[in-house]
Structure 1
Amino acid sequence: MRNMATYDLMETFRNTNQWLGASALSFASYPLFSMVPNPALQWMAAWGQVTERTFQRMVAKPDWGIRTFTCEDGKDHLVNIETVVEKAFGNLIHFNVSGRETQPRKILLVAPMSGHYATLLRSTVKSLLVNCEVYITDWHNARDIPVSEGKFDVEDYTLYLVDFMKHLGPDTHVIAVCQPAPLTLAATAYLAEEDPDAQPRSLTLIGGPIDPDAAATDVTDFGNRMTMGQLEELMIQRVGFKYKGVGRQVYPGLLQLASFMSMNADRHSKAFTDQIQRTAKGEASDHDAHNRFYDEYLAVMDMTAEFYLSTVERVFKKCEIGKNTFSINGKHVDIGKITTVAVKTVEGANDDISAPGQCVAALGLCTGLPDSKKASHVEPGAGHYGIFAGKSWRDNIRPLVLDFIDANSAAPVKPAKSAANPKTAAANKNAAAK
């Protein structure tokens, strides 16, 4: 009951700040005040507008905003977002461009479930939609999932990915961004042993913590410093009475957001101060750079407690993926069983979330995979966000990934004997990565 009260208190605090912003905007915008211009009232209205929008976005799932796409015929075609697999904790959705021929590249984009919605990858989807059939995992907000649906931890997450891959078939190319990279690698290894014919053609891992111990960051230091008991006590709460998931133990999105923003508090504080000043001067707009970024950044979702805790314990503390000791329902998932799926890793040289070295460790784990099916790329000057969105992704990384996909689109021939050397695999690059 204590945790439910705390959860509702956070929502009350958010709702109160949204109300205060709306009230300030309404009061300062009273028509009579316009007769005598007052900078203080202009500032109050600007503060209210920015504050209301900020706290309102925290509980709203962003829209994909991908409604039309201009094809080679020069015409705009409608984009229908279709659910192809529906599950309790997440769906598999497809961006179907009406009237366009089916594209030869079929891509499964595995979105992170680390506090933000899958719409965080909106720009990634748009860039791939140009000449690919794009599918993406659309994870649900845990607060909206009834307790009767049961648990959802890292093993359940991995099995969800297995089911999605099976549904799409073996001609699929999987791209995992950040958090899901280790579990996507595990899902591929699981298929390699349980259902080899359902394995995807290729697997691209972007900025994921395959081996967190390979390069320390603030994220890994926090995970190692805190005990599991401390995390459970400080981070886990029960969903309040307002939502369908009432009583479910979660890591609340609002608490996650507070953690995100505290890591760069000065930068965020300056961004909002500057936005208030721009609004007061009439220089801000509904879709300016600040609003485009923070409308997405502030939209957070709850994670199930068991998923968060098992991720910290098994992926970061015990490093089960990095040490190849991960298991599902007590059965070891051997990453070395991957022998036909081409694997590529992408890292950002300035990534402070998953530092260079964490993701490329996947290649060394694929001991059964020939060197010719391994590739790696480190993007100079790119941070964590830049390796899957923005200029670095569009101009450099996306072309390399698509070249890698094209080079490995043919049906694989299972090798009779592995040619890989686990000691040198992490440094290998195939032709598509050069």
Structure 2
Amino acid sequence: MRYMMTYDLMESARNANQWLGATAQSFASYPAFSLAPVPALNWLAAWGKVTERTFQRMIVKPDWGIRTVTCEDGKDHVVEVQTVVERPFGDLIYFKVPGRDIQPRKVLLVAPMSGHYATLLRSTVASLLPDCELYVTDWHNARDIPVSEGKFDVEDYTLYLVDFMRHLGPDTHVIAVCQPAPLTLAATAYLAELDPAAQPLTLTLIGGPIDPDATPTEVTDFGRRVTMGQLEETAIQRVGFKYKGVGRLVYPGLLQLTSFMSMNADRHSEAFSNQIRREMRGEAGDHDAHNRFYDEYLAVMDMTAEFYLSTVERIFKAGEIAKNDFVVDGHKVDIGKITNVAVKTVEGANDDISAPGQCIAALDLCTGLPDSMKASHVEPGAGHYGIFAGRSWRDNIRPLVLEFMNTNSTKKSTRRRTSSRVANTNAAAN
């Protein structure tokens, strides 16, 4: 019960701060106070507005907010988000664009389950929509999943990806961003051995910890310093009485957010101070740069305890993917069995989360692939976020990924007949 009480204590603190912000704004905005200008009251109203919004966003799942997309015909087409596979811990959703021609590229974008919702990839989705039939993994907040639905660990996550790939079929291009990269690689290898006809055409791994020890970072060092017992004791709590998942053991999103914020505390503190000053001057707005970023950044979700702990223990500490020792549902996955899926890795030169070297390790594990079906790219000057969003992604990485898909799509028929033919003639250039 003490873990459940701790969970409710965090939620109570969040709720109290939201209430304090709303109260401060309401009090300082009392009309009678406007008879005489009082800078302190103006600051209090601005502080209250920023504070209320900040703590309120922590429990809200953001909307995708992608209403339309401009297609090759020069027209804006409405975008509809449809659920095509519904599962307890995550859905496969499809961004349907009515009224346009079916695009030749069918893409599965595997979103991270690392504390934020899949909407963190909103800009990535928006950039791919004009050129692709796009499907995205939409993971659910563990606090909203009843205990009766059972467990969900890295093996279950991998099997979800296997099912999604089977559903979409072999003419699919898969892109995995950050955390899911090693498990997506394992899911592809699982299909290569047990259901070869369901393998995707290409697999693009972006900034993922395939081999966390290849280039150590603060994240990997943390995994080494802390024992599993310490992690379970300090990080795992039971969902409180407010949510459907009451009693489920989770790694709380609010705890994860605290870690995120503490890594760059000075920068976040300055950002909120500047936003309060903008509110005082009447320069802030619902959709300004600060609110666009923090509305997404602050929206966090709980992960099941077994998923979080098994990720740390098996991916980071034991390095099961890096050593090709990963087991799924009693079956030892052999990444060397991948022979018909072209694989590309993307890394950021300034990535301080999954540093260069961690992701490209996937190519060495793909011993069954010829070099002509392997490609890699390191984006100069790009950090972790920049390799799947922002200017680096839009101007440099996205065109390379689409070219990689196109090149291997043209080889589809011959690749399915034999693995000895060249599948990516421009791999060295990318």
TM-score normalised per structure 1: 0.96
8 Å Cα contact 1:24-1:48 kept in structure 2: yes
Counterpart amino acid of residue 384 in structure 1: H
Q: Is 1:402 equivalent to 2:402 in the alignment?
A: yes
Q: Deviations over 1:43-100 (max 9, x none)?
A: 0011000000000000000000011222233332211100000000000000000111
Matches within 5 A, 1:42-191: 42-191=42-191
SS at match of 1:190: helix
Q: Deviations over 1:115-168 (max 9, x none)?
A: 000000000000000111110000000000000000000000000000000000
Q: Deviations over 1:396-424 (max 9, x none)?
A: 000000000000113224546799xxxxx
Residues 76-85 or 193-202, more deviating: 76-85
Matches within 5 A, 1:136-285: 136-285=136-285
CA distance, structure 1, for counterparts of residue 227 and residue 155 of structure 2: 21
Q: Which residue matches 1:287?
A: 287
Measured after TM superposition, the shift of residue 319 of structure 1 is 0.3
CA distance, structure 2, for counterparts of residue 416 and residue 219 of structure 1: 38
Q: Which residue matches 1:424?
A: none
8 Å Cα contact 1:404-1:433 kept in structure 2: no
> What stretches of structure 1 move > 6 A for 4+ residues in a row?
416-419
Q: Which residue matches 2:351?
A: 351
SS at match of 2:340: coil
Counterpart amino acid of residue 177 in structure 1: V
8 Å Cα contact 2:238-2:249 kept in structure 1: yes
Q: Deviations over 1:284-336 (max 9, x none)?
A: 11111111000000000000000000000000000000010001122210000
Residues 76, 302 of structure 1: CA spacing in aligned structure 2 closer, same or farther, 3 A cutoff? same
Counterpart amino acid of residue 239 in structure 1: V
SS at match of 1:408: helix
Residues 63-72 or 18-27, more deviating: 63-72
Q: Which residue matches 2:385?
A: 385
Unmatched tracts of structure 2, length 5 or more: none
SS at match of 2:242: coil
Counterpart amino acid of residue 120 in structure 1: L
CA distance, structure 1, for counterparts of residue 126 and residue 157 of structure 2: 25
Measured after TM superposition, the shift of residue 431 of structure 1 is 3.8
8 Å Cα contact 1:58-1:300 kept in structure 2: yes
Q: Percent identity?
A: 79
SS at match of 1:107: strand
What is the RMSD of the two structures over their aligned residues, measured on CA atoms?
Answer: 1.5
Q: Which residue matches 1:425?
A: none
8 Å Cα contact 2:340-2:419 kept in structure 1: no
CA distance, structure 2, for counterparts of residue 74 and residue 200 of structure 1: 31
Counterpart amino acid of residue 267 in structure 1: R
Measured after TM superposition, the shift of residue 188 of structure 1 is 0.1
Measured after TM superposition, the shift of residue 205 of structure 1 is 0.1
Unmatched tracts of structure 1, length 5 or more: 420-427
TM-score normalised per structure 2: 0.97
Measured after TM superposition, the shift of residue 433 of structure 1 is 4.3
8 Å Cα contact 1:158-1:187 kept in structure 2: yes
CA distance, structure 2, for counterparts of residue 364 and residue 329 of structure 1: 25
